[in-house]
């Protein structure tokens, strides 16, 4: 039986349709991942599924208990950690109290409570009430909260600690339906591994929105993609809307690629059939009666008869073509949306020739002891309290991934390479006229009052309006966002705008700081593929486990604010 059934839900905000006729089911043991473009309505669908909001149309039906984790959990500041855990265990305490009361009545010979006792025991066992206290201890330890004092007020916890505690509370309750919005935020690798194991063991239904591809690959039994895809009913009627794919994230990627290929083929076939039908209508319509006009008085009977037969045959072909064209228009196959491609923007690579002596310089002076072909050279650089790098050469062939704990200095290193952060000691040497594409993690737009187009055009010659078509052509922002102040854009849209600015520099070196943050999975996959194919020098900082697993280049780690090359 489905524990959660969502049927044709639709909702709009301020006249903008966010969800339109979305349906899905989740049964016990199923773990459904929800993916899609930024702003497509993933979190909205979770709110509707949880009953926090009501859809404009459609229905949501749930069975059993519900657990819902938002991205910004609402925990009472005045409570303590122990108090929050006790509140999460309260349902089990109450079930156990009622079971003990029923047992006492049965011991006294009162058989009227037998059915009630059976129901209580079944629910208690179904939700694994016997191990609830042990589950709470495991959740706190697994999510990195074991050292947090139980009497600590919730209002004193950091944002990350509050998110992890809220996740622990959801796991402790073991509800029949568990809805999770970006549950891996604020988790390190060990905590994510614990969460994956806990969800795989969960007896109820799990529905999660996540940008963590490795997490989805390790947990999901199916993926619901809210981005449009073509489906065709049994009667041949085409529809474009969300689609569900069975299996892990890896299976989803293969299924989505196949669905895209089918859509492109269906559109090509439909277009060919439309063109053929229109050609018949246009060409044969001209032929009806053409042979007999102007000379019928002199025609012999048999010639006139044959002419009429030809006209009738042509007329039938025209009618058939018109009917065929009408049916094709009624079953129109929409054109697949254009895929974002960054290949052209990233195709401008450095000169294939070797660097000439003196090309790499600080100011105007030549640099000794630097090998040919080096685009950026770091020598004995130190930014006190932030980063130390003894030596690093970035060449045309560099593909370097930098990892390390939060706060270890990874972003500072990229800032130094980009020239945005000056070291206190040491030298950073760059090839003359080198174009660096730097995608910082935050702080890309110092003036939030500028529109997206103005921010995109900043520092470039001519009026900003001249660059609107270029920005729109990249396909990274919807039309209305182009005239929106940067400060009013979503975090994901700001990230896309920063990516657009980086691309138009025609970079020769890419410095990417957490490039997968706040971007949709589809966009991340396309960006990674383009970077792999571009042949540019790349230095990337990322916490993304999926990207780290698939990385083919060199690796380095920042430990205690010092770069350690492999």
Predicted local distance difference test score (pLDDT) of residue 478 = 84
CA atoms within 13 A on the CB side of 558: 27
Predicted local distance difference test score (pLDDT) of residue 318 = 74
Q: How far apart are the first and last CA of the chain?
A: 53
DSSP assignment, residue 66? E
The two three-digit tokens of residue 194, written as one number:
């614990």
Paired strand residues for 374: 395
- Three-state DSSP at 209 gives strand
The two three-digit tokens of residue 448, written as one number:
């939030």
CB 219 within 8 A of CB 33: yes
For residue 236, what are the contacts with CB-CB under 8 A and spacing of at least 6? Answer: 331
For residue 83, give the H/E element and its range: helix 81-107
Paired strand residues for 400: 539, 554
User: Residue 372's closest CA among 397, 347, 401, 402?
Assistant: 397
- HEC profile of 494-563: HHHHHHHHHHCCCCCEEEEECCCCCCCHHHHHHHHHHHHHHCCEEEEECCCHHHHHHCCCEEEEEECCEE
Residue with tokens 């002596």: 357
φ, ψ (nearest 5 deg) of residue 116:
-60, -40
User: Residue 208's closest CA among 33, 30, 26, 39?
Assistant: 33
CA atoms within 13 A on the CB side of 138: 14
- Three-state DSSP at 393 gives strand
Where do runs of H (alpha helix) occur along 288-337?
301-330
Predicted confidence pLDDT, tens digits, the chain (566 residues): 799 999 999 999 888 899 999 999 999 999 999 999 888 899 999 999 999 999 999 999 999 999 999 988 888 888 999 999 999 999 899 999 999 999 999 998 988 989 999 999 998 988 888 989 999 999 999 999 999 999 999 999 888 899 999 999 999 999 999 999 999 988 888 999 999 999 999 999 999 999 999 999 999 999 999 999 998 777 778 889 999 999 999 999 999 999 999 999 999 999 999 998 888 877 755 555 555 444 455 555 554 544 555 556 667 777 777 888 888 888 889 999 877 666 656 654 443 333 333 344 443 334 445 567 799 999 999 999 999 999 999 998 999 999 998 888 999 999 999 999 999 999 999 988 888 999 998 877 889 999 999 999 998 999 999 999 988 888 888 888 999 999 988 888 898 899 888 888 888 999 999 988 888 888 888 888 888 887 889 999 998 999 999 998 999 999 999 999 86
User: Residue 527's closest CA among 505, 552, 510?
Assistant: 510
Neighbours of 325 (CB within 10 A): 17
For residue 374, what are the contacts with CB-CB under 8 A and spacing of at least 6? Answer: 355, 360, 393, 394, 395, 429, 431
CB 336 within 8 A of CB 267: yes
CB 495 within 8 A of CB 425: no
For residue 82, what are the contacts with CB-CB under 8 A and spacing of at least 6? Answer: 150, 151
CA atoms within 13 A on the CB side of 73: 30
Where do runs of H (alpha helix) occur along 331-409?
none
Strands 399-404 and 554-559: parallel
Predicted local distance difference test score (pLDDT) of residue 400 = 96
Predicted local distance difference test score (pLDDT) of residue 299 = 55
DSSP assignment, residue 62? E
CB 150 within 8 A of CB 84: no
CA atoms within 13 A on the CB side of 435: 16
Predicted local distance difference test score (pLDDT) of residue 337 = 86
For 259-363, strand residue ranges (E) read 360-362
Alpha carbon 387 to chain centroid distance? Answer: 31
The secondary structure of 176-199 as a DSSP string is SEEEEESTTTT--HHHHHHHHHHH
The secondary structure of 27-43 as a DSSP string is ETT-EEEEE-STTSSHH
CA angle (257 as vertex; 251, 262 as ends), nearest 5: 125
Strands 205-209 and 31-35: parallel
């Amino acid at each position: 039986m489905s524990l959660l059934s969502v049927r044709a839900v639709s909702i709009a905000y301020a006249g903008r349709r966010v969800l339109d006729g979305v349906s899905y089911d989740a049964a016990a043991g199923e773990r459904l991942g929800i993916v899609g473009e930024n702003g497509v309505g993933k979190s909205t669908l979770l709110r509707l599924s949880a009953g926090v909001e009501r859809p404009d149309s459609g229905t949501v039906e749930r069975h059993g208990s519900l657990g819902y984790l938002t991205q910004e959990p609402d925990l009472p500041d005045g409570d303590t950690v122990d108090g929050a855990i006790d509140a999460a265990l309260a349902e089990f305490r109450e079930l156990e109290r009622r079971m003990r009361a029923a047992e006492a009545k049965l011991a006294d010979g009162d058989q009227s409570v037998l059915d009630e006792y059976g129901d209580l025991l079944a629910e208690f066992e179904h939700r694994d009430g016997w191990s609830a206290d042990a589950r709470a201890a495991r959740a706190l330890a697994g999510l990195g909260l074991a050292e947090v004092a139980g009497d600590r007020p919730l209002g004193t916890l950091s944002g990350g600690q509050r998110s992890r505690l809220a996740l622990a509370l959801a796991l402790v309750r073991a509800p029949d339906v568990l809805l999770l919005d970006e549950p891996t935020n604020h988790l390190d690798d060990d905590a994510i591994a614990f969460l994956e194991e806990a969800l795989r063991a969960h007896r109820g239904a799990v529905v999660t929105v996540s940008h963590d591809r490795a997490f989805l690959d390790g947990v999901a039994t199916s993926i619901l993609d809210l981005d449009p895809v073509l489906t065709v009913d049994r009667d041949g009627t085409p529809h474009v809307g969300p689609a569900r794919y069975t299996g892990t994230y890896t299976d989803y990627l293969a299924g989505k690629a196949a669905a895209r290929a089918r859509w492109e083929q269906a559109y090509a076939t439909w277009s060919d059939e439309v063109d053929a039908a229109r050609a018949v209508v246009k060409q044969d319509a001209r032929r009806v009666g053409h042979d007999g006009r102007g000379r019928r008085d002199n025609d012999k009977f048999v010639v006139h008869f044959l002419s009429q037969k030809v006209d009738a045959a042509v007329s039938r072909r025209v009618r058939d073509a018109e009917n065929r064209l009408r049916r094709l228009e009624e079953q129109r196959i929409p054109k697949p949306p254009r895929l974002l491609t960054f290949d052209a923007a990233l195709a401008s690579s450095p000169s294939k020739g070797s660097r000439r002596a003196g090309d790499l310089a600080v100011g105007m002076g030549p640099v000794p002891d630097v090998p040919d072909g080096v685009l950026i050279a770091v020598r004995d650089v130190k930014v006190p309290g932030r980063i130390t790098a003894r030596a690093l050469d970035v060449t045309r062939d560099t593909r370097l991934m930098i990892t390390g704990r939060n706060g270890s200095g990874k972003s500072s290193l990229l800032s130094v390479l980009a020239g945005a952060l000056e070291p206190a000691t040491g030298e950073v040497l760059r090839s003359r006229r080198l174009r660096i594409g730097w995608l910082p993690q935050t702080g890309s737009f110092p003036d939030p009052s500028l529109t997206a187009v103005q921010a995109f055009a900043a520092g470039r010659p001519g009026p900003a309006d001249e660059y609107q078509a270029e920005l729109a052509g990249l396909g990274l922002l919807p039309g209305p966002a182009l005239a929106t102040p940067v400060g009013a854009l979503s975090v994901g849209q700001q990230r896309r705008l920063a990516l657009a600015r980086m691309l138009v520099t025609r970079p020769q070196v890419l410095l990417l700081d957490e490039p997968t943050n706040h971007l949709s999975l589809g966009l991340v996959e396309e960006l990674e593929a383009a970077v792999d194919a571009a042949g540019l020098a790349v230095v990337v900082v990322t916490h993304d486990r999926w990207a780290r697993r698939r990385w083919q280049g060199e690796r380095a780690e920042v430990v205690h604010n010092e770069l350690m090359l492999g």
